[in-house]
């Protein structure tokens, strides 16, 4: 009898693992503390959906299982309580469940999608004619992190309230919220092995996203530690690497069209669609905070100023333009490296993806992968910025894309950052 019971349990598990989902009535609720074949089957399916990175898991519904289930529930717009009800399991074992790397499922009560920022639409008008680039007022507020104080309808703290911050390397969650700024960072993993950080930024004042260049005889060309740039610019809340144009100035080659803080630094583009990497395509940041990508030689530096551009970042290639993935992204090879990209969604949310690489737990990604990921997170415009070991993502002074307590000698020197600052 015992042998028959074991065989039946094995067949039941096999049915689940092969994708034969049951109806909600045929599952039993699973929660922390439960054990058995049903828990193993649940974990196996969550592994297939990328919420576990290894199949070396126990048959126990433990704290880690609950944590990963909460993430799955949040991704799929469910109540995030960490309990696998029959209805939740029916979704998990179906083809409708979103994997960890997918764009989150919209909540039932969502605001209508606003129109694209006009700056995200190319123009054939004369360069001297300013672009109307107003970011839509209506946008979907970022998710309120657990434990955060009450936020306004727009997703910020009320005026006069002290900023809220949260940082947990172990769970891969970082948050910063004030009356003017809302930043959410989440770490993701996938088989490969892949590991990346996804940053979402919403600002009341678009001028708080700004270029932060190294100081020296010629601004932006001194190569220094990221911490030095942070110190010189008043320790911004968040900072990440830019296009590293200072390296090209120092060591030769085309520099690109470089405008920073409304001033022309260099006007030295490559020919459009160059096969040389980087092609020096441009991400233009307008005075109102909206963003638009351009091919490397589409406009002169002065033309960008005439259009109302505050900063241009020249690296590339373009990853997403006018809401579409750049088909040329794949021509830059299959090399998997650390990479960082900057872009903007249709509602004006700033997105940064920082992919880790050249380490045992993360091998990096291709340029084509970055294009697909930036579109997946909702970007209508996105540019590939400097990659390799000079990539950096710094939250509240901590370089979170590197292991904790990384020695100073192992941090690469750079010439500039893009930072999010607060009012003093």
172 and 68 in one domain? no
Closest CA to 391 of 342, 352, 353, 339: 339
353 and 264 in one domain? yes
- On whether residue 37 sits in a domain, the answer given is yes
Tell me which DSSP letter residue 233 carries: T
Domain endpoint, select from 77, 92, 107: 92
Q: What is the mean pLDDT of residues 348-376?
A: 96
Q: Is the pLDDT of residue 95 over 60?
A: yes
Q: Determine the pLDDT at residue 423.
A: 65
224 and 84 in one domain? no
Per-residue pLDDT reduced to its tens digit, 288-329: 999 999 999 999 999 999 999 999 999 999 999 999 999 999
Q: DSSP string covering 233-250, please?
A: TT--SEEEE---HHHHHH
Rounded Cα distance between 319 and 341, Å, is 8
363 and 257 in one domain? yes
| Bridge partners of residue 166, in order along the sequence | 175
Q: Determine the pLDDT at residue 349.
A: 97
Tell me which DSSP letter residue 359 carries: B
391 and 281 in one domain? yes
Domain endpoint, select from 55, 76, 92: 92
Element of type H or E holding 39: helix 37-48
Q: Determine the pLDDT at residue 396.
A: 96
In this prediction, residue 104 has a pLDDT band, given cuts at 50, 70 and 90, of low
Dihedral sign for Cα atoms in the order 344, 345, 348, 352: negative
Q: DSSP string covering 152-179, please?
A: -TTSSPPTTPPPEEEEETTTTEEEEE-S
- On whether residue 118 sits in a domain, the answer given is no
User: For tokens 């022309």, what's the residue?
Assistant: 264
Could you tell me the residue range of the domain that residue 83 belongs to? 2-92
Rounded Cα distance between 326 and 317, Å, is 8
Q: Determine the pLDDT at residue 378.
A: 97
Query: Are the C-beta atoms of 385 and 338 separated by less than 8 Å?
Result: no
* CATH assignment at residue 7: 1.10.101.10
Q: Determine the pLDDT at residue 424.
A: 56
221 and 347 in one domain? yes
Q: Determine the pLDDT at residue 121.
A: 34
- On whether residue 104 sits in a domain, the answer given is no
List the structure tokens of 244.
């590293």
Choose between 134 and 351: higher pLDDT. 351
Q: Is the pLDDT of residue 217 over 90?
A: no
Q: Where are the alpha helices (DSSP H) in 307-398?
A: 367-376
Q: What is the mean pLDDT of residues 278-292?
A: 97
176 and 48 in one domain? no
pTM: 0.69
Per-residue pLDDT reduced to its tens digit, 4-20: 434 334 344 444 444 44
In this prediction, residue 331 has a pLDDT band, given cuts at 50, 70 and 90, of confident
- On whether residue 126 sits in a domain, the answer given is no
Q: 2-17 and 37-48 are packed helices; what angle lies between their axes, rounded to 10 degrees?
A: 20
Rounded Cα distance between 402 and 404, Å, is 6
User: For tokens 């959410």, what's the residue?
Assistant: 184
Count CB atoms within 10 A of the CB of residue 335. 12
96, HSE (Cβ side, Cα atoms, 13 Å):
10
182 and 87 in one domain? no
Q: Is the pLDDT of residue 128 over 50?
A: no
260 and 404 in one domain? yes
In this prediction, residue 147 has a pLDDT band, given cuts at 50, 70 and 90, of confident
Choose between 182 and 128: higher pLDDT. 182
CA dihedral 270, 272, 276, 282 (to 10 degrees): 70
Among 21-30, 196-205, 221-230, 379-388, the range scoring the smallest mean pLDDT is 21-30
- On whether residue 127 sits in a domain, the answer given is no
Rounded Cα distance between 178 and 164, Å, is 6
66 and 179 in one domain? no
165 and 276 in one domain? yes
- On whether residue 120 sits in a domain, the answer given is no
Q: Where are the alpha helices (DSSP H) in 76-212?
A: 86-92
307 and 219 in one domain? yes
Domain endpoint, select from 56, 77, 92: 92
As a residue count, the chain comes to 424
Rounded Cα distance between 169 and 396, Å, is 13
Q: How many domains does the chain have?
A: 2
- On whether residue 310 sits in a domain, the answer given is yes
Q: Is the pLDDT of residue 414 over 50?
A: yes
Per-residue pLDDT reduced to its tens digit, 149-161: 889 999 999 999 9
Q: Determine the pLDDT at residue 251.
A: 87
C-alpha dist (Å) from residue 180 to 130, 177, 345, 416: 27, 8, 19, 24
Q: Is the pLDDT of residue 208 over 60?
A: yes
- On whether residue 147 sits in a domain, the answer given is no
Q: Where in 39-159 does DSSP place strands (E)?
A: none
3 state DSSP class of 254: coil
List the structure tokens of 272.
């459009």
Element of type H or E holding 2: helix 2-17
- Sheet with 393-395: strands ordered across: 209-213, 416-420, 238-241, 393-395, 398-399
Task: State the first-to-last Cα distance of the chain, in angstroms, to the nearest integer.
Answer: 74
Q: Determine the pLDDT at residue 39.
A: 92
């Amino acid at each position: 009898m015992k042998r028959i019971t074991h065989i039946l349990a094995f067949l039941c598990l096999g049915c689940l693992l092969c994708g034969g989902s049951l109806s909600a009535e045929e599952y039993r609720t699973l929660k922390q503390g439960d054990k058995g074949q049903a828990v193993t089957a649940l974990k196996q399916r969550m592994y297939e959906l990328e919420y576990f990175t290894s199949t070396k898991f126990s048959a126990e519904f433990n704290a880690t299982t609950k944590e990963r289930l909460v993430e799955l529930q949040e991704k799929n717009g469910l109540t995030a309580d960490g309990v696998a009800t029959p209805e939740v399991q029916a979704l998990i074992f179906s083809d409708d469940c979103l994997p960890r790397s997918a764009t989150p499922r919209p909540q039932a009560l969502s605001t209508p999608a606003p129109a694209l920022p006009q700056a995200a639409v190319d123009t054939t008008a004369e360069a001297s004619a300013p672009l109307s680039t107003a970011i839509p007022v209506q946008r979907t507020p970022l998710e309120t992190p657990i434990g955060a104080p009450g936020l306004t309808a727009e997703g910020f703290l009320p005026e006069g309230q002290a900023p809220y911050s949260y940082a947990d390397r172990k769970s891969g969650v970082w948050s910063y919220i004030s009356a003017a700024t809302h930043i959410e960072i989440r770490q993701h993993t996938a088989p490969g092995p892949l590991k990346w950080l996804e940053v979402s930024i919403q600002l009341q004042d678009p001028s708080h996203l700004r270029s932060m260049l190294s100081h020296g005889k010629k601004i932006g060309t001194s190569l220094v530690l990221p911490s030095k740039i942070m110190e010189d610019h008043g320790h911004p809340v968040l900072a990440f690497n830019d296009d590293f144009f200072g390296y090209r100035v120092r060591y030769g080659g085309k520099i690109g069209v470089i405008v920073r803080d409304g001033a022309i630094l260099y006007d030295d583009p490559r020919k459009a669609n160059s096969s040389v990497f980087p092609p020096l395509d441009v991400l233009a940041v307008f005075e109102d905070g909206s963003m638009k990508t351009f091919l490397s030689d589409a406009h002169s530096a002065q033309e960008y100023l005439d259009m109302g551009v505050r900063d241009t970042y020249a690296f590339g290639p373009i990853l997403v333009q006018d809401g579409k993935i750049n088909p040329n992204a794949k021509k830059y090879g299959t090399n998997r490296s650390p990479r960082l990209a900057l872009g903007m969604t249709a509602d004006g949310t700033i997105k940064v993806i920082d992919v880790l690489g050249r380490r045992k737990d993360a091998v990096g990604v291709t340029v084509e992968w970055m294009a697909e990921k930036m579109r997946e997170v909702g970007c209508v415009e996105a540019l590939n910025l400097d990659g390799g070991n000079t990539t950096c993502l710094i939250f509240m002074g901590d370089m979170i894309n590197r292991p904790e307590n990384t020695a100073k000698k192992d941090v690469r020197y750079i010439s500039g950052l893009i930072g999010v600052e607060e009012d003093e």
